């Protein structure tokens, strides 16, 4: 039970289940927000000197021993060779989130190495790598997995603070903004809860100085978030009756998420089929827990929930298996 | 506005919020909320709109006990009954 800083906690949420080898579009969105989280973290810890609306950062603060390597990777490029840099919160957040791909990659390595060193993050074979098509093609895919318990502590703490009456802490205000900018709100709150979150955010905007300064700032990149939203829209459509039937005929439409795990034999019994899938996933190094049994079981694989639907594909011979469809919110 | 309390501070304070209970026990927020609504976790509330406060030691012990009973296969009504007989 350690105290994690803001950027570290957010990184655990943002990096979870992301590809660790490639800079995917979704990971780029996460990394930009993680870089902004570093600025917010430094601000909360009083590393900036504030005069009116301007935040000043002195180089000496970075040189002090307590600043961590990942913080340097974000702040150093913004400082260049200057001894101090002045800008408002909007300027700092935008600058940090606009770091080049190369610098983002260095930042990712710095923060993921740190989180790995304290056993909060690990690299595992990606769930998609267990998909029959990828598995048989021999494509190596790896993904990050956050420590299961810490992940749920962080996300449930955000939910508790915002959905419960009473005051909200500064960390949670920053977290909410980061979740909004990274387009992750839907992953943690149901539709009904989102209405409440919206009301609470409006209240905070009216009453809280940090929220008033932070909430109007937007750092997301239209195109990147647009692609992410398009994929989300596709996922939503695929969940409708028409969508799901199309999806079963053309499974490649949802290939990026719905993973097909083939079973070794034809099973007439759903329990046997489920056990076969569980064994297979565990052999790939995933942590699997059955939340609900039955013919369509709900599985918690690493930190995500999936529905395991019985399914078969026809190659030269029909191959029976299970299609894992992600479930949101967690 | 306030900063989040550090784990050290939480571990010595008498009262904690529901968010801090989540951090302490790793339980889901909705689960703790449900337990509270079922009257399984006693709390104190100064006024209608203020945060519910729980006594840290007793509540954490209670949550761990409920978890244990649940792991033994007891349902919520059965756990409630067990808590009432305490």
A26 cis-preceded (ω within 30 degrees of 0): no
CB contact under 8 A, B4 and A169: yes
Average pLDDT over residues A92-104: 93
On chain B, the residues whose CB falls within 8 A of the CB of A166 are 17, 49-52
Residues ≥6 apart with Cβ < 8 Å to A118: A2
What DSSP element (H or E) covers A149?
A: helix A148-163
Query: What interface predicted TM-score (ipTM) does this complex get?
Result: 0.88
CB-nearest to B19 from A152, A164, A209 is A164
| A157/B7 touch (CB, cutoff 8 Å), yes or no | no
CA dihedral angle for residue A156, residue A162, residue A166, residue A172, rounded to 10 degrees? 80
Mind listing the pLDDT tens digit for each residue in A169-209? 999 999 999 999 888 888 899 889 999 999 999 999 999 99
Could you tell me where the beta strands, DSSP code E, fall in chain B?
A: 15-16, 54-55
Q: Is the pLDDT of residue A167 over 90?
A: no
CB contact under 8 A, A149 and B7: no
- Angstrom distance (rounded) from CA B10 to CA B45: 18
pLDDT band at A108 (very low <50, low <70, confident <90, very high): very high
Q: Which residues of A touch B51 (CB under 8 A)?
A: 164-167
Which residues from A are below 8 Å from B when comparing CB atoms?
Answer: 1-3, 44, 149, 152-153, 156-157, 159-161, 163-173, 208-210
**pTM attached to this predicted model:** 0.81
Across the interface, do B51 and A164 touch by the CB < 8 Å criterion? yes
Tens of pLDDT, residue by residue over A8-63, are 999 999 999 888 888 888 898 899 999 999 999 999 998 899 888 889 998 888 87
Spatial contact of A324 and A306, defined as CB atoms under 8 Å apart: yes
Residue B10's Cα: distance from chain center in Å?
14
Of the candidates A66, A69, A33, the one whose C-alpha atom is nearest the C-alpha of residue A47 is: A66
Report the percentage of chain A scoring pLDDT > 70. 87
């Amino acid at each position: 039970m350690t105290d994690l800083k803001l950027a570290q906690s957010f990184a655990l949420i943002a990096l979870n289940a992301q590809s660790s080898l490639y800079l995917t579009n979704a990971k780029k969105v996460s990394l930009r927000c993680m870089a902004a989280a570093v600025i917010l973290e430094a601000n909360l810890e009083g590393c900036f000197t504030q005069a009116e609306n301007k935040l000043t950062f002195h180089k000496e603060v970075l040189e002090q021993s307590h600043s961590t390597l990942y913080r340097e990777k974000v702040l150093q490029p913004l400082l260049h060779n200057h001894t101090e840099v002045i800008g408002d919160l909007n300027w700092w957040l935008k600058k940090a989130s606009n770091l080049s791909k190369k610098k983002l990659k260095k930042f990712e390595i710095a923060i993921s190495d740190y989180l790995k060193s304290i056993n909060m993050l690990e690299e595992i074979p990606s769930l998609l790598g267990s998909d029959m098509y990828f598995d048989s093609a021999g494509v190596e895919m790896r993904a990050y997995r956050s420590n299961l318990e810490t992940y749920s502590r962080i996300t449930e703490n955000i939910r508790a603070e915002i959905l419960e009456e009473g005051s909200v802490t500064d960390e949670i205000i920053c977290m909410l903004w980061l979740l909004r900018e990274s387009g992750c709100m839907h992953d943690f709150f149901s539709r009904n809860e989102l209405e409440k979150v919206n009301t609470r955010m409006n209240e905070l905007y009216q009453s809280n100085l940090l929220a008033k300064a932070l909430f109007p700032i937007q750092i997301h990149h239209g195109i990147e978030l647009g692609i992410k939203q398009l994929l989300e829209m596709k996922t939503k459509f695929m969940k409708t009756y028409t969508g799901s039937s199309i999806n079963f005929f053309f499974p490649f439409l949802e290939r990026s998420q719905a993973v097909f795990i083939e079973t070794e034999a034809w099973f007439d019994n759903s329990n046997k089929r489920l056990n076969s899938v569980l064994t297979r996933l565990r052999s790939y190094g995933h942590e699997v827990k059955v939340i609900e049994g039955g013919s369509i079981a709900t599985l918690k694989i690493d930190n995500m929930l999936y529905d395991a639907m019985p399914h078969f594909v026809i190659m030269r011979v029909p191959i029976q298996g299970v299609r894992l469809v992600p479930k949101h919110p967690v | 506005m306030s900063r989040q309390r550090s784990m050290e501070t939480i571990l010595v304070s008498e009262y904690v919020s529901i968010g801090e209970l989540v951090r302490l026990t790793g339980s889901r927020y909705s689960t703790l909320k449900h337990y509270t609504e079922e009257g399984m976790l006693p709390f104190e509330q100064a006024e209608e709109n203020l945060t519910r406060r729980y006594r840290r030691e007793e509540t954490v012990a209670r949550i761990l006990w409920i978890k244990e009973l649940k792991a033994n296969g007891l349902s919520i009504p059965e756990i409630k009954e067990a808590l009432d007989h305490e």
